[in-house]
Amino acid sequence: MTFVDSAAFDSVSPEEVYTGSKHFTLDYSKPPGQGWTYKAFTMDRFDYPDDPSLHLTRNVRGSPMLRRINGKLYLYTLDMYAHYLTIYRFEPSSEGGIAIPSGLLAQNPVPTGWPAGQPTYGEWMWRDLNGNGRVDADEITSNPSTGSTVGNGFYWVDTPGNVWQATPGSVIREMPLQGFDAVGNPIYQYAGSLIFAMPQPFTRIARIVYIAETDTMYISGFTAAIPWDNAHWKEAGPVLARYDNWSSGSPSMQYAISLPWNTQSSPQVTTVGVAVAGNYIFVAELYTLKVDVCDVRTGQPVGYMTPGADVGKTSGWVDTDPGISAVKRANGGYVVALEDDARAKILLYRWTP
């Protein structure tokens, strides 16, 4: 029931799983494939026809990130190409399980011409100032400092709700959460952005995962040894590095590791998504049915996950950015959610180290 979509876990209750437009509950005591219950459909195109997901590429919400901020649940979603970050809030007492459109960060104008009032060039954002879930022209803000597109970048939202953006050829930008307005929408401002230089050894950044609790940044991308080429425009890259004390102004690189990468093989071996949970990094390969597992402390490979007999030992491409998420449960086990684009489902890998 999911397509061009991945899943995210509620950090407070890992049995609650959200895709872009659906809410599932998992019972981990049941056998594989039998533990899920379809709980809610979170999109309402009748009350909220301006839901950005109805107007962006492929008309799906795509890769979700769930964040609990001040105890409240917020849903952040990426379109298939990670060009747009949409924000949703929940009001269970009045809206049940519906995710109410709350905001949008756009790297460039939406090609369909929606919404009215968006700039013709450059990045922009929308916040639902009046709380009606519709995009009004006076609620749109353009970036006054650059006025330019930021290219094929990537968004990441950390646990406190700060938005990080990797611009592929230059910098990493943090847009700190400025608080909440009277409606309950998160507030972000271009003027409040913090800029971090692209660190060595990268020449192009593809993915970032920032762990606020430890001030640790994980970056994947391309280097001078294996430069980016537009035939692999969506890949996460052949190198992953960890940086400690990221926000100090003098981050220290702990390691830079080579990820599986062979563009001459058939099928090609490339990476598409990165997730970090507990003591492990989980890296999704795009074509080759593998999730590679590395130790966050050393970067050393631990092994890999691949589809088992429960799903016919096969899966499709991971076709969204990043297409993977992971959570560490209280019992010490890990659950990894992976998009299966060919068969319209989410694969769940359960693992106890």
Place of tokens 């970050």: 85
Element (H, E) at 7: strand 7-9
Query: How high is the pLDDT of residue 60?
Result: 73
Dist. CA 244–CA 162, nearest whole Å: 18
Cβ-based neighbour number of residue 227 at 10 Å: 10
Residue 319, token pair as written in the block: 């076709």
Query: How high is the pLDDT of residue 150?
Result: 66
Each residue's pLDDT expressed in tens, for the chain with a length of 353 residues: 788 889 999 989 999 999 999 999 999 999 988 999 999 999 999 999 999 999 987 777 779 999 999 999 999 999 888 889 999 999 999 999 999 999 999 998 998 899 999 998 889 999 999 999 999 999 999 987 665 556 678 999 999 999 999 987 789 999 999 999 999 999 999 998 999 999 999 999 999 999 999 999 999 999 999 999 999 989 999 999 999 999 998 999 999 999 999 999 999 999 999 999 999 999 999 999 999 999 999 999 999 999 999 899 999 999 888 999 999 999 999 999 999 988 888 999 999 99
Residue 32, token pair as written in the block: 């594989």
Domains identified in the chain and CATH numbers: 199-353 (2.130.10.10)
Query: How high is the pLDDT of residue 341?
Result: 85
Element (H, E) at 95: helix 92-95
- For residue 307, what are the contacts with CB-CB under 8 A and spacing of at least 6? 289, 313, 314, 315, 347
CB 315 within 8 Å of CB 338? yes
CB 8 within 8 Å of CB 22? no
Main-chain dihedrals φ then ψ at residue 342, nearest 5 degrees: -75, -30
Q: Is 139 helix (H, G, I), strand (E, B) or coil?
A: helix
Measure Cα distances from 244 to 145, 163, 240, 248, 324 in Å.
29, 19, 14, 9, 23
Query: How high is the pLDDT of residue 148?
Result: 54
Handedness of CA 155, 260, 324, 314 (dihedral sign): positive
Number of residues that this document lists for the chain: 353
Residue type, 4: V
Query: How high is the pLDDT of residue 346?
Result: 92
Query: How high is the pLDDT of residue 125?
Result: 97
Query: How high is the pLDDT of residue 168?
Result: 73
Q: Single out the residue of 319, 329, 311 nearest to residue 270, CA to CA.
A: 319
